[in-house]
């Protein structure tokens, strides 16, 4: 392909700046690909074609007036859990199938104000609960690398959209792994920022002490270009961190010689797919070749990450989802004889199986008599897990390992086995329990399916993670691989 790469933010931004194409042409290019390919992939719940063209024209006008920034006219897709004014926000649920928010989430608002063009809203597990995007009311998303397999979850729609070239970048959220796990399974780069780095205002809540917005893109460079516009303090989110936003693009090129990388030696020992283990070991050697120094670390309570997370996250969800009662928001059952029946019927009809399972488990864990044994104990474990990371970061700068134990599994394979589904997050949940940041970077293939390297950083160390990921991507070509979907043609340059 000649000219700027129309599938990266960097390529589109450069092409727009040189007037090689207009924002409207780029928007139409992606809308045409969505039209042609999304019936098989199901990455989008809603495509906002008219909005995209209108925003793109405004971006072109701004450029003519000399008012364009680096993101003006660059398209983006939003996970359908970020509220969007005038465009429905479904959370992948029947409960909110017709819900139109009255305002934009702060993350959406900031990207819109930076000139980005909204292509649509992407599919997800219902209320972001899941690891495969199979619990969506709108049907599963298919992995562009193998349509019979999952794209990961819960941000499977955002991941599949970017992997298939149906968007250059997409917002996503990560409560226990939902940005990094789909990134690994679709060959993308995914950043889960430090808790509080990206405003949760307008992000429909799943587990409020874990939820964090971030990005999925092809490269660390693309994430660096967009992330600064999305991150930063927001007075409308009481857990938002009041810390300066770094210049992420400026941090990309720094050499990583002397970087101290911690590796949990026991992590690759049991239960990890051999292809994943080999790719992870090779990626760590690659980083050593760039001057990093590897040392073993031990995160003593890593093995209780999954039970701790799956106690606390459902507890928070049971409380957050009580607002969907058929009265204030969402689906309302017809013909109820009493207010009690209205609540029960609306929730019975509006929520799917996994959401109900979590509300029940969470309510149980919080109930009188069980609170200390379950919720209280999990809170204490959460503290121990965070302490393990705090000690590790006294000795190392980043922690490296595999993002997932295995590459993408087959659609349907884990639907009857919630525990098997939950174990997809075994390497990612610790980061959310401790509120840290992490990135997944394409690191190779196992049986033709992409796998990811997981890099964990200390609080607010996103710039360093993007730096390490970028240096890795300059030395490797895994992020350049494209799935076997038809890539369409780049928009013609006017010459
Ligand atoms: N898979 C995890 C869960 O089901 C994480 C989901 C997420 O990060 N939103 O809870």
Is residue 5 predicted with pLDDT exceeding 80? no
Is residue 4 predicted with pLDDT exceeding 70? no
How does pLDDT run across 432-488, given as a tens digit for each residue? 999 999 999 999 999 999 999 999 999 999 999 999 999 999 999 999 999 988 654
Ligand 1 centre and the CA of 173: distance in Å? 9
Is residue 1 predicted with pLDDT exceeding 70? no
Is residue 322 among the annotated active site residues? no
Is residue 368 among the annotated active site residues? no
How does pLDDT run across 182-217, given as a tens digit for each residue? 999 999 999 999 999 999 999 999 999 999 999 999
Catalytic residue selected from 83, 93, 155, 178: 178
Is residue 178 among the annotated active site residues? yes
Count the Cβ atoms, other than its own, within 10 Å of residue 386. 15
Residue 206 CA: nearest ligand 1 atom is 9
Is residue 166 predicted with pLDDT exceeding 70? yes
How does pLDDT run across 300-330, given as a tens digit for each residue? 999 999 999 999 999 999 999 999 999 988 8
Q: CA–CA separation, 201 vs 447, rounded Å?
A: 41
Ligand 1 centre and the CA of 154: distance in Å? 6
Q: Quick one: pLDDT band at residue 281, thresholds 50, 70, 90?
A: very high
Residue 153 CA: nearest ligand 1 atom is 1
pTM for this entry? 0.97
Q: Quick one: pLDDT band at residue 362, thresholds 50, 70, 90?
A: very high
Helix, strand, or coil (residue 44): strand
What pLDDT, on the 0 to 100 scale, is given for residue 279? 97
Residue whose CA lies nearest to ligand 1 atom number 5: 176
How does pLDDT run across 99-157, given as a tens digit for each residue? 999 999 999 999 999 999 999 999 999 999 999 999 999 999 999 999 999 999 999 99
Residue whose CA lies nearest to ligand 1 atom number 4: 130
Longest Cα–Cα distance of the chain, Å, equals: 73
Residue 155 CA: nearest ligand 1 atom is 9
What does the mean pLDDT of the chain come to?
95
Classify residue 491 by its DSSP letter: P
Q: Quick one: pLDDT band at residue 3, thresholds 50, 70, 90?
A: low
Ligand 1 centre and the CA of 486: distance in Å? 31
- Please give the residue that has the higher pLDDT: either 489 or 16: 16
Ligand 1 centre and the CA of 487: distance in Å? 30
How does pLDDT run across 221-250, given as a tens digit for each residue? 999 999 999 999 999 999 999 999 999 999
Tell me the sheet residues that pair with 137.
Answer: none
Q: CA–CA separation, 348 vs 94, rounded Å?
A: 11
What pLDDT, on the 0 to 100 scale, is given for residue 488? 45
What pLDDT, on the 0 to 100 scale, is given for residue 323? 95
How does pLDDT run across 245-266, given as a tens digit for each residue? 999 999 999 999 999 999 997 7
Lowest mean pLDDT among 1-15, 160-174, 412-426: 1-15
**Residue pointed to by tokens 């509300």:** 359
Ligand 1 centre and the CA of 203: distance in Å? 15
Residue 177 CA: nearest ligand 1 atom is 8
What pLDDT, on the 0 to 100 scale, is given for residue 487? 52
Pocket-forming residues, ligand 1, beta carbon under 6 Å = 128-131, 154, 173-178, 206, 313, 425
Is residue 389 predicted with pLDDT exceeding 70? yes
How does pLDDT run across 57-86, given as a tens digit for each residue? 999 999 999 999 999 999 999 999 999 999
Catalytic residue selected from 13, 22, 79, 440: 79
């Amino acid at each position: 392909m000649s000219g700027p790469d129309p599938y990266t933010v960097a390529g589109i931004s450069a092409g727009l700046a040189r007037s090689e194409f207009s924002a409207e042409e780029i928007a139409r290019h992606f809308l045409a690909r969505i039209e042609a390919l999304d019936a098989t992939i199901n990455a989008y719940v809603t495509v906002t074609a008219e909005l995209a063209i209108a925003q793109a024209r405004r971006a072109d006008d701004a450029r003519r007036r000399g008012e364009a920034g680096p993101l003006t006219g660059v398209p983006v897709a939003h996970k359908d859990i970020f509220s969007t004014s005038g465009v429905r926000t479904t959370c992948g649920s029947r409960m909110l199938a017709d819900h139109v928010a009255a305002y934009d989430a702060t993350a959406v608002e900031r990207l819109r104000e930076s000139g980005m063009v909204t292509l649509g809203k992407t599919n997800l597990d219902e209320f972001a609960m899941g690891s495969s995007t199979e619990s969506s009311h709108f049907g599963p998303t298919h992995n562009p690398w193998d349509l019979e397999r999952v794209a990961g979850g819960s941000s499977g729609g955002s991941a599949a959209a970017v992997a298939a070239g149906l968007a250059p970048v997409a917002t996503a959220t990560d409560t226990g792994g939902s940005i990094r796990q789909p990134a690994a399974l679709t060959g993308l780069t995914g950043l889960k920022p430090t808790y509080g780095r990206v405003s949760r205002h307008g992000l429909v809540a799943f587990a409020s002490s874990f939820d964090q917005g971030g990005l999925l893109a092809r490269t660390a460079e693309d994430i660096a270009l967009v992330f600064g516009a999305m991150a930063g303090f927001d007075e409308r989110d009481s857990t938002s961190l009041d810390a300066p936003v770094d210049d992420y693009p400026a941090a990309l090129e720094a050499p990583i010689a002397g970087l101290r990388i911690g590796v949990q030696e026991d992590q690759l020992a049991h239960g990890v797919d051999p292809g994943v283990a080999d790719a992870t070991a090779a990626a760590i050697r690659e980083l050593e070749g760039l001057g990093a120094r590897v040392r073993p670390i031990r995160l003593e309570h890593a093995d209780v990450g999954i039970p701790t997370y799956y106690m606390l996250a459902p507890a928070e969800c049971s409380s957050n989802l009580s607002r969907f009662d058929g009265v204030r928001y969402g689906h309302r059952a017809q013909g109820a004889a009493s207010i009690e029946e209205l609540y029960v019927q609306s929730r019975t009809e509006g929520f799917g199986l996994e959401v109900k399972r979590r509300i029940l488990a969470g309510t149980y864990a919080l109930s009188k008599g069980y609170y200390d044994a379950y919720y209280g104990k999990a809170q204490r474990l959460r503290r121990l897990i965070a302490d393990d990371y705090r000690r590790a970061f006294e000795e190392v700068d980043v922690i490296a390992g595999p993002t997932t134990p295995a590459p993408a599994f087959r659609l349907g394979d884990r639907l009857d086995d919630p525990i098997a589904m939950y174990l997809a997050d075994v390497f990612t949940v610790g980061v959310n329990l401790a509120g840290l940041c992490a990135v997944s970077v394409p690191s190779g293939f196992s049986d033709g399916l992409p796998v990811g390297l997981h890099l964990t950083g200390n609080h607010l160390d996103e710039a360093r993670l993007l730096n390490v990921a970028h240096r890795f991507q300059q030395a490797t070509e895994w992020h350049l691989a494209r799935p076997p979907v038809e890539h369409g043609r780049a928009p013609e340059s006017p010459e």
